Every structure is written in C-alpha cells, then in structure tokens.
C-alpha cells in the first residue's frame, strides 16, 4: 500500500466522454474549459451542480464545476461542493431582515434590496437608550427616591441594572453564536431552549411588550391631563374635594383618553410602520433634550436655586394650588385680612371663627422646593419614608405640635389641603414599579437583521447602552436626593409645587422642556410597543408552536400583521382599563423578568453542556454570571410581587405543557435536548452500577413484532397490550427483523421503522423502535434479545405472539424460531410473555366490564404471574376485572391448608384476589391422550424421514390428520386443514426409476411409522397437558384473560415440534391466553 500519492490533471483534447476501459468519466483540460467560456457551463451535463444550504443555485454559470484537476474527488462533487466555491458563496452571504423579505414578496421582486448598513451606534446603542430611558424616569423616579430614600433607591437601581447587565452578557454570548435573524430574544431563547420554552417565554415577552404599550400610553395621558392641558379632564378632577373621588375621576379620565390614544396609535401602525419610523428621530431627540435639561438644571442649582417654594403647616406639606400666599393673614392697607389659606382651615370671620386645631397650634412656613446641590439636604433624604395610603407627607425635621386624632377626624376640611400618599408604599412595590425603566435591552438584538456586523454590534452597543443608562439612573438618584426637598420628592404629582411635574421644577431653561420631551418620549415608546409586539406574535404564530395562534401569522400584502395588531390592541386595552401606571408597571415587570431569566438560563445551559456548536465570538461570559443573573431575575420577581410572580410562572407553565401536549414537531438543536442527553447518560451510568431491587422491578419489555409483505405491523394489538401492561411507565422497545442484507434492504428498514412508529402512535405506546436487517430471522431475534437497550435501561421481559399457523407451515423454521427464542430468553434470564390470539385482545379504547383475570399458578418462577394482573388492572381497560388465582394440588397435598397459606401470602403481598385450589387426581392415561401422542410422534418422524416434495408432505400430513379426525371427530370439528395443491411434473425415464425407488423406501418408512409405539415421556407430558387443559377450560372458559405457567423448552433440538404440540393442547379451547415464563429472579416481595 503506497504511503503517498500525487493527483495529476486528467487531460484529453476530446470532449468529456465515458472511458469504456476504466469506467472513469474524463473531462476537458483547463485551457479548453477557459476558451469555451459560457458554452462549457451551458452544456454542463457532466458537471454536477453545487448544492448547499448556504448557497443559491440560481446562477447557473457560477454553479458549474471548475475543479477539473481534482478528478480523484469527482464522485464526491455530487453532494459536496468544493471548498473554494463554498467560501466564495459564504463571503457573499447577506442577512436580510424579515420585513425586507416580506416587502420583497409584496412587491414581486420589483424593489432592489440593499445590504444592511447600520452600525453599532445607530443600530444598537441609540435604540437601546431610547427604549430604556422613558416614562418611569420622568414621572416616578423622583417619587421613588423620596419614598425609598437615597440608600433604598440606590439599592433598587443597582439590583435592576445588575440584572439587565448580566442578562445582556448572556444575550451577547447567544447573539454572537452564529447569525441571529430577525426575531431577537424570541429567536434566541427558542433556538437555545427548544420550542416549549421558546413558545412560553416568547408569549411572556409578547405580553410584557404589550403591557409596556399600556404603561407608556397611561404615562402619556397622565402628562397630558396633569401637566399640559389640565382643563381637558372630562370628569373635573380640579372641582372635587374628596381625595377618593378625585382619584376615581382621574382613573376614569385615564381610561377614556387612554382608549382614544390607543385607537389612534393602532390606526397609525395599521396604516404603515414607515410613518412611525419617520418619527423615531423626533422621539429620540426629545429624550436626549429632556435629560440634558435635567442635568443642566441640577448644575444650575449649585449656582442659584429656582424660585419654586413649598408651603408647610407645622411639618405637613400643603397643596398650594388653592392659595397664592403661604400665610395665615396678610396686611391689606392698614388692616389684617385672612388669606385664602386661612379660609381653607377656618369658618367665620377673622375675630369670630372656628379653626382646625392643628392650624391654630402650628405656624405656616415657606421653604425652597429645590434647595440646591450644595444645600446639604442629601442627609435628610438618605432614608426612606414608607407608609399606608392616605399618610400625610411631612418634613420630619420641621417643628410641629401634634393634636389628637379625634379632633382631626371631626374636622374634614384639611383632607383636601394636605399632600397625602395615594397608595400604600413599601420597598417591594417600588422595585416592581421601577423595573420597567431598565427594560428595552433587547432593542438591539431585535434589529439584528439590519446591522452591518450583528455579532460585533449587539454586545458592544447593548452593554454600552446599559452602562450609560445605569450611570444616568444612579446619578439621578444621588442628584435628586441632593438637590430636591424631601416633601417635594414624596409628592408624586407635584401638588405642593402648583401641580407641576417635580422633575420640571428642576429643569433648565424651562419646565416645558421636560414636560413636552417626556410627553413625546412616552408617545414614541408606546408606538414602538404597538409596532414590535404584533411582529413578535406573528413570528411565534408562524413557527406553528400553538395551533390556536396560527391565525395571527397572517399579514397584509405588505407584511403587516393585521390580526396580531388587533389582539395586541385588545390586550393593551386591558392595561389601560386598569388605568393606574403604578398597577400596570409590576405586571410587565413580571413578564420581562421571566424573559430575562430564560435568556440567562439558555446561556448557562449551553455553556455547561459544552455543545460543539457553542462557539460565541463574545468571550466575556461565564456560566456563573448567567446563573447569578437568573437567580437575580427570580428574586426580583418574588420581591416585586409574589402573587404576580406565581401567576406568571403558572401562565408560562401552562403554555409549556400545551406546546408539549400539542406536539410541536420542531428540532432546533436546542440546549434542552443536550441537557436531556447528559441527564440520560448520567442516569444510565448510575443504573448500571447495581441491578434493581425487587421492590423497583417492573417489566421492561422488548416487543418482537412481525411485519407483513407490505412492511406493516401484523399484530398491532401487541402494542396495545404493552401499553396496558406498562401504563406508560418503564422501558418499551419495539423491534422487528427483516431478512436479507442491510445494503439491499436499508430503505425497507427505515420504512418499517416509520410504520412501526405510526402503529405505536396509534396504539398510544410510548417507547423506542428498532428494526434490524439480518441474514435470517433467528439470528436477528437472537441479536435483539442480547443487545437491545443500553446500560441499565435494558429489557428484562420479551413479549411475542403465539405462531397460530405453525402447523400449516411446510417449513419447520417457524416453530424452530419460536422455540429458539424461548430457549434464548431463558438462557439470558429474561421473562417471556407469549400471547395467544393476540388479535382478540382488547384495544386501548375498549372497557372490559365484569370479568376475571385468571392466574393458573403451577410452579413458582419469581412471582411474575401474580404481578402481571396487578399491573394490568392499573389500566382503565382491565380496571373492573377481578383477579382469581388457581393452584393445583396433588394427591398427597393438603388442599385446605394450601388455600389458607396462599391467602395469607397474597395478603402480605397486598394483592386482592380470590384463591381456589384445584385437585388433579392421578388417573389412567386415556386412549385419546395415547393416540394424540402417537399421532404427534408419527407426524414428526414422518416429516423428518421422508424427503418429500412440498405437495406430498402436505398430502401425508393431511392423511394423518384425516385418520385422527375420523377417530375423534368432536375434538376437531372446528379445525380446517389446507387442501393439497395440484402436482405438475415432467417425467423422464431416469426420473421415473429414481422416483419409484424413493416411493418404495418411503412406503416402508410409513408402514414402520404406523407400527411404532409412542415415547412414554411424551405420553406423560401429553397427559399433563390434556388434564390441565380440561381443568382450565372448566374453570376459566369465560375469563377475560388466562395466565398460565409456560413449561420449559426441550434441551435438545429434536423435540421442538412436540413442545409446540404440548403448548397447543395446553391452550386449546381458550380465547385469550398469556403464557408466562419467569426470568429466574424474584419480582415481587412482601416487604415494604
């Protein structure tokens, strides 16, 4: 054998033609191929086309085989392209977005598609910034800082930002592990964790995005009605005095205006996303300008403080919208006159009035709303001030004279004057309200199809955006606490500063920069949610994971998901009807946290499994970081709201089970599949360490099926019986053997496996299927018995059908295969179950009524006979059947004591069964038994000695059968024997002579056969079979199922046919019989 070789070009001036000598097709040399140009490729019949999932074959010229100097690998080119061609196609590969592809289809390829050109800053960084910075920053962050304090707010911001940063690291690893098409987080999770997790988390992410739209719309309406156009309120909030009535009116206004705003936004999205995209820059500019105005205002407070003031009565903050002067009285001319504030707390004239006791005892003080960055107010705002709904907002450092609660309860007027908490506050509530402000980190990955280099841009842009926004949030916590008065921070709606936006009082040059900027920012975020959520639902629907969602996969001609948009608007309306931004925020926090949790889980699973395809370009990740992020997400869910968390987990679990139940036939190479493989490998290794204990023994069944000529399962009820016996538990291996060579019958084996799997599915039999090709059936079944299973998951029981027509077979191979199978299972110490009349067994849809399962316990071989009825009765088919156990007593046995002992034994085994002892007295062997044995031996010897043709052998068998039938017509009245076929022979003189001599020898052998005497051992065996059969038929004729001890096979091959005859006699006259042969070990125990 040569150690090296050289590949040389195959040159021939003639056109390519097959060479008759060596059978190798020659090709033209390189020079001719170059000169011929397109003509060579146009002929192209001898040049195989390259076919690869990476490349398109539409360009016929480029697909022509150019590797003329690689003739040695010519045959490989049919299925494998040359490396140079592959690399060339991969270099020119472009990743188009889903929207672009849909638009191309709508325009019938009339639009020229350009390659994506978006970089990191425009494509990832700015979208993430725009999505992260939003309504919570402008409307609730000051209130969170005032309520939780600087320390508590810093902890909230740090936990939430750490959660998103860890999630971004995991997401970056997944996003850089190959090309991520349009679909973003849903695509990453579903392709990493499988369709079940992908569908569940995808729907959670969809619901989170939809409720985010509700939150942004509610924020928009709150800014509009509270700070921009206060007079637009339909239910007159400013005219009401009762705080509860005022809150109800506000919520109703939010519902009405929110519904109108949602309808307008949905209509805008329906008309066309291009209009939304045109406004994206405007919305982004509003966010940037608002933040700049905020920071500028903070810096300005260090130089000069704003003029906004807060009026305090004692230490209580007052709503200053109803009065102009923060004094009890004022001088008008030379007279002291009461102010509007005095009139709010007193009745009557100045000198003869009745005033609120707290108003009389405490002074009115006016303080700066924005003391400034250098004022030292930071020390007062370090710690939180939580309280119930209706708690007064107070400045603790301010002196105050308290009054009795009874006095305050009698006087109702101040309730509309003080600033109070509108909801009960606690740390966990603030976590749930704040978390939506850090969501939006998926904006970059959702645009992966539009990026020039997604694997580089997504990690850098997302992590930089999170770092930037985290710095902004943490700095805002510190700056707000250091420059704004505490009572103003805790004033959610700015009622103490003329009902102005608290952050607006800090802004420079004008509060309207923040108000208008936050208004348009919320509008833009709401439009983005209504744009993205329907497409996410459309992507889930098009994956066909959930059948009821398929209608939402349809779209308009231009690709817009109309039905998905309608559903999104309907769900969004639910959030708007809730009407409270503080109530909606925790809901979407749950859904986003669930999504982020599974992003971290996906990265951790892929990293720990070390799958060969896990090769992210982003290297700064570790499975511990992913687990930390996953734990943080789960903790934040339960910290925010434990009942919301449980509800979200329950929703995700229901979706998971529904997808699993509906049978999503998707194979995405997900990590859960790899996790299952690792878990299975570990479990198999552990199982192999020691054999199972008797208490853990259950039948692990190897079902040996027979296939007909069409490769269809001949006895599907075997699978039904397996299902009833197993009830879905334990191991089931369904196997069959095809006779022949694998190279010739490989396709038949695959087709057979498909047919067997279809039969298993129809019979609801869960297990594994394996069809082997062997030179003969006996070897095939032997190999299956020896090698089926893996490690500790090997079968311990073999189930086969009784060969009912073994007598009609002209070839003894049928019963030889059967008896060999019996012998091999016995040698392998495996249990054997043989079902007679298997086609009469009940299907899984039948329900057997009153009846019995009769067990004939002749010899003890491990207790399998008693365990099987118990297992069968666990299934609904056999549940109503009762169990009866018969045992046989001989002459010298005490039948009464045997019955008592057996009943006690069954009691300890915890089995409910009727017990009966059948006495079989020793009796003379009947003439029928003697003659039946003789006929059996004569037939066996005849077929062995007489080398007859097929037709003559059938004729002799028929002769013996007819003779026996005449002697005992009643025993065989239902049996029909095959009639012999006609004989067509062409005779020559030599044939005639040889045939006459053979016939003379055969005739002498036949005369000897009819003069022979039966073997006494066979007579005794036949006598036992006949007598036992009589007892079984008498007692169990009407039983639904009869279980019998299966006698052992003969030790030598000469008695195969006799053995089959014994079994046939033993089961004669019974409809459903299960012969049971134990594996030689105890399978049932009385101990717990």
Write the DSSP assignment of 952-963 as a string of letters: HHHHHHHHHHHH
Supply the angle between the helices 642-662 and 623-640 in degrees, to the nearest 10: 120
Q: Are 766 and 728 in contact (CB under 8 A)?
A: yes
Quick one: average pLDDT of 640-666? 85
pLDDT at 773: 93
pLDDT at 51: 39
Quick one: average pLDDT of 63-87? 55
pLDDT tens-digit readout, 156-196:
999 999 999 999 999 899 888 877 665 566 777 777 777 88
**316, 317, 323, 328 alpha-carbon torsion, rounded to 10°:** 30
pLDDT at 241: 59
| 23 confidence band (pLDDT: 50, 70, 90) | very low
The CA-atom distances, in angstroms, between 355 and each of 216, 407, 426, 608 are 44, 11, 35, 73
Q: Dihedrals φ, ψ of 1052, to 5°?
A: -115, 160
pLDDT at 613: 81
Neighbouring CB atoms inside 10 A of 31's CB total 10
* Residue 611 predicted with pLDDT over 50: yes
Smallest CA-to-CA distance from 571 within 580, 557, 584 is with: 584
Strand partners of residue 735: 704, 770
Alpha helices, DSSP H only, in 362-493? 405-410, 427-434, 443-446, 454-483, 486-489
Burial of 7 (0-12, 13-18, 19+ CB in 10 A): exposed
pLDDT at 79: 57
User: Which one has a higher pLDDT value, 320 or 727?
Assistant: 320
Neighbouring CB atoms inside 10 A of 797's CB total 26
* Residue 21 predicted with pLDDT over 70: no
* Residue 112 predicted with pLDDT over 50: no
pLDDT tens-digit readout, 133-147:
889 999 999 999 999
Q: What is the mean pLDDT of the chain?
A: 77
Q: Does the CA dihedral 747-753-756-758 come out positive or negative? A: negative
648: three-class secondary structure by DSSP? helix
Q: What is the radius of gyration, based on Cα positions, of the chain?
A: 44
Strand partners of residue 317: 312
* Residue 429 predicted with pLDDT over 80: yes
| 930 confidence band (pLDDT: 50, 70, 90) | very low
Q: Are 1044 and 1076 in contact (CB under 8 A)?
A: yes
Q: How far apart are CA 546 and CA 532, in angstroms?
A: 20
Q: Are 584 and 262 in contact (CB under 8 A)?
A: no
883: three-class secondary structure by DSSP? strand
pLDDT at 482: 94
Mean pLDDT: which of 685-694, 813-822, 1039-1048 is highest?
Answer: 1039-1048
Widest pairwise Cα distance in the chain = 161
301: three-class secondary structure by DSSP? helix
* Residue 358 predicted with pLDDT over 70: yes
Token look-up 């009115």 returns: 364
Strand partners of residue 475: none
1057: three-class secondary structure by DSSP? helix
Does this model's pTM top 0.75? My answer is no
pLDDT tens-digit readout, 1045-1073:
888 777 766 666 677 877 888 888 888 89
As a residue count, the chain comes to 1088
Mean pLDDT: which of 1-15, 87-101, 315-329, 345-359 is highest?
Answer: 315-329
* Residue 198 predicted with pLDDT over 70: yes
pLDDT at 543: 84
| 499 confidence band (pLDDT: 50, 70, 90) | confident
Question: 8 is written with which tokens?
Answer: 């040389």
pLDDT at 498: 87
| 4 confidence band (pLDDT: 50, 70, 90) | very low
Cβ within 8 Å of residue 522, ≥6 positions away:
134, 135, 138, 216, 217, 219, 220, 223
pLDDT at 425: 93
| 609 confidence band (pLDDT: 50, 70, 90) | confident
Neighbouring CB atoms inside 10 A of 789's CB total 17
Q: Are 78 and 110 in contact (CB under 8 A)?
A: no
| 461 confidence band (pLDDT: 50, 70, 90) | very high
pLDDT tens-digit readout, 295-311:
999 999 988 888 889 99
Mean pLDDT: which of 86-100, 513-527, 931-945 is highest?
Answer: 513-527
Percent of the chain with pLDDT over 70: 72
Strand partners of residue 883: 853
Give how far the C-alpha of residue 1057 lies from the chain's centroid of Cα atoms, to the nearest Å: 54
Question: How are strands ordered across the β-sheet holding 364-368?
Answer: 316-317, 309-313, 364-368
Question: 67 is written with which tokens?
Answer: 């590797």
Smallest CA-to-CA distance from 822 within 838, 804, 799 is with: 799
User: Which one has a higher pLDDT value, 888 or 16?
Assistant: 888
Supply the angle between the helices 623-640 and 141-175 in degrees, to the nearest 10: 150
* Residue 94 predicted with pLDDT over 50: no
Question: 652 is written with which tokens?
Answer: 């995700």
Quick one: average pLDDT of 80-102? 48
Quick one: average pLDDT of 486-493? 92
pLDDT at 993: 56
214-228, 786-800, 996-1010: range with lowest mean pLDDT: 996-1010
pLDDT at 994: 61
Smallest CA-to-CA distance from 576 within 260, 134, 255 is with: 255
């Amino acid at each position: 054998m040569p150690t090296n070789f050289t590949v040389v070009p195959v040159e021939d001036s003639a056109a390519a033609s097959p060479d008759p000598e060596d059978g190798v097709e020659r090709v033209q040399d390189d020079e001719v191929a170059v000169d011929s140009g397109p003509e060579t490729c146009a002929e192209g019949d001898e040049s195989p086309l390259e076919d690869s999932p990476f490349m398109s074959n539409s360009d016929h010229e480029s697909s022509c085989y150019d590797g003329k100097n690689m003739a040695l690998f010519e045959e490989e080119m049919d299925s494998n392209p040359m490396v140079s061609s592959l690399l060339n196609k991969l270099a020119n590969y472009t990743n188009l977005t889903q929207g672009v592809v849909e638009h191309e289809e709508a325009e019938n390829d009339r639009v020229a598609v350009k390659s994506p050109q978006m970089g990191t800053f425009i494509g990832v960084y700015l979208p993430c910034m725009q999505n992260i910075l939003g309504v919570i920053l402008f409307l609730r962050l000051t209130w969170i800082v005032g309520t939780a304090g600087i320390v508590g707010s810093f902890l909230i911001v740090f936990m939430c930002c750490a959660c998103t940063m860890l999630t971004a690291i995991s997401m970056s690893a997944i996003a850089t592990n190959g090309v991520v098409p349009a679909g973003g987080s849903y695509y990453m999770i579903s392709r990493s964790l499988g369709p079940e997790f992908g569908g569940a988390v995808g729907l959670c992410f969809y619901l989170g995005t939809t409720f985010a739209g509700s939150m942004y719309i509610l924020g928009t309406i709150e800014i509009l009605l509270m700070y921009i156009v206060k007079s637009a309120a339909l239910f007159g909030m400013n005219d009401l005095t009762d705080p509860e009535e005022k809150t109800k009116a506000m919520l109703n206004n939010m519902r009405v205006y929110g519904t109108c705003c949602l309808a307008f936004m949905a209509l805008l999205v329906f008309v066309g996303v291009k209009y939304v995209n045109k406004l994206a820059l405007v919305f982004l500019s509003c966010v940037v300008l608002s933040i700049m105005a905020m920071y500028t205002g903070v810096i300005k407070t260090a130089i000069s403080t704003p003029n906004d003031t807060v009026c305090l009565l004692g230490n209580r903050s007052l709503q200053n919208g109803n009065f102009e002067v923060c004094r009890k009285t004022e001088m008008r001319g030379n007279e002291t006159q009461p102010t509007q504030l005095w009139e709010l707390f007193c009745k009557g004239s100045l000198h003869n009035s009745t005033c609120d006791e707290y108003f009389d005892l405490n002074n009115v003080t006016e303080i700066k709303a924005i003391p400034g960055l250098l004022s030292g107010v930071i020390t007062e705002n370090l710690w939180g001030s939580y309280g119930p709904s209706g708690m007064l907002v107070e400045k603790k450092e301010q002196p105050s004279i308290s009054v009795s609660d009874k006095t305050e309860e009698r006087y109702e007027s101040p309730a509309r004057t003080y600033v109070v908490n509108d909801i009960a506050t606690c740390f966990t509530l603030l976590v749930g309200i704040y978390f939506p402000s850090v969501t939006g980190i998926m904006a970059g990955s959702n645009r992966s199809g539009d990026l020039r280099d997604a694997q580089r841009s997504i990690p850098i842009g997302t992590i930089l955006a999170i770092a930037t926004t985290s710095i902004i949030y943490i700095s805002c916590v510190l700056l707000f606490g250091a420059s704004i008065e505490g009572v103003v921070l805790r004033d959610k709606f700015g009622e103490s500063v003329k009902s102005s936006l608290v952050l607006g009082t800090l802004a420079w040059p004008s509060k309207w920069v923040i108000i208008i900027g936050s208004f348009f920012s919320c509008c833009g975020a709401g439009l983005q949610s209504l744009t993205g959520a329907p497409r996410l639902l459309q992507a889930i629907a098009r994956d066909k994971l959930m059948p009821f969602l398929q209608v939402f996969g349809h779209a308009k001609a231009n690709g817009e998901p109309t039905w998905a948009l309608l559903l999104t608007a309907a769900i969004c309306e639910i959030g708007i009807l809730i009407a409270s931004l503080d109530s909606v925020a925790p809901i979407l926090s749950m859904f986003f946290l669930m999504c982020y949790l599974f992003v971290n889980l996906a990265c951790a699973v892929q990293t720990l499994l070390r799958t060969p395809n896990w090769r992210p370009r982003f290297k700064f990740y570790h499975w511990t970081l992913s687990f930390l992020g996953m734990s943080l997400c789960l903790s934040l869910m339960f910290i925010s709201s434990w009942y919301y968390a449980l509800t979200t987990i329950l929703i995700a679990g229901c979706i998971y089970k529904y997808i699993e139940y509906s049978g999503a036939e998707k194979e995405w190479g997900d990590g859960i599949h790899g996790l299952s493989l690792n878990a299975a490998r570990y479990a198999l290794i552990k199982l192999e360490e020691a054999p199972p204990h008797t208490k853990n023994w259950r039948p692990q069944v190897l079902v040996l099926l027979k296939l007909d000529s069409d490769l269809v399962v001949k006895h599907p009820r075997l699978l039904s019986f397996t299902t009833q016996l197993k009830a879905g538990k334990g191991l089931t291996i369904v196997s069959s053997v095809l006779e022949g060579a694998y190279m010739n019958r490989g396709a038949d084996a695959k087709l057979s496996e498909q047919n067997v799997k279809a039969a298993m599915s129809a019979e609801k039999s869960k297990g594994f299927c394996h069809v082997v090709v062997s030179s003969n059936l006996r070897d095939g079944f032997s190999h299956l018995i020896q090698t089926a299973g893996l490690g500790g998951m090997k079968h311990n029981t073999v189930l086969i059908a009784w060969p009912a027509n073994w007598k009609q077979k002209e070839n003894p191979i049928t019963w030889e295969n059967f008896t060999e199978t019996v012998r091999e299972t016995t040698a392998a110490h495996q249990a054997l179950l043989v079902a007679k009349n298997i086609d009469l067994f009940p299907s899984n849809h039948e329900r057997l009524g009153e009846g019995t399962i009769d067990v004939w316990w002749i010899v003890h071989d491990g207790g399998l006979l008693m365990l099987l009825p118990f297992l069968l009765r666990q299934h609904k088919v056999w549940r109503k059947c009762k169990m009866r156990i018969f045992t046989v007593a001989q002459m010298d046995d005490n039948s009464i004591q045997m019955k008592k002992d057996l009943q006690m034994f069954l009691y300890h085994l915890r089995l409910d069964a009727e017990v009966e002892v059948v006495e079989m007295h020793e009796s003379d062997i009947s003439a029928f038994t003697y003659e039946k044995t003789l006929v059996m031996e004569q037939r066996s010897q005849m077929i062995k000695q007489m080398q007859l043709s097929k037709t003559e052998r059938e004729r002799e068998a028929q002769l013996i059968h007819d003779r026996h039938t005449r002697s005992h017509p009643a025993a065989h009245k239902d049996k029909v024997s095959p009639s012999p076929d006609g004989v067509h022979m062409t005779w020559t003189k030599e044939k005639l002579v040889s045939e006459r001599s053979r016939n003379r020898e055969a005739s002498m052998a036949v005369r000897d056969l009819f003069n022979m005497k039966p073997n006494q051992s066979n007579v005794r065996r036949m006598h036992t079979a006949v007598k036992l059969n009589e007892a079984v038929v008498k007692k169990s004729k009407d039983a639904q199922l009869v279980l019998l001890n299966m006698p052992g096979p003969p030790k030598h091959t000469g008695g195969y046919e006799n053995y089959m005859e014994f079994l046939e006699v033993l089961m004669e006259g019974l409809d459903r019989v299960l012969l049971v042969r134990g594996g030689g070990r105890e399978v049932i125990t009385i101990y717990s």
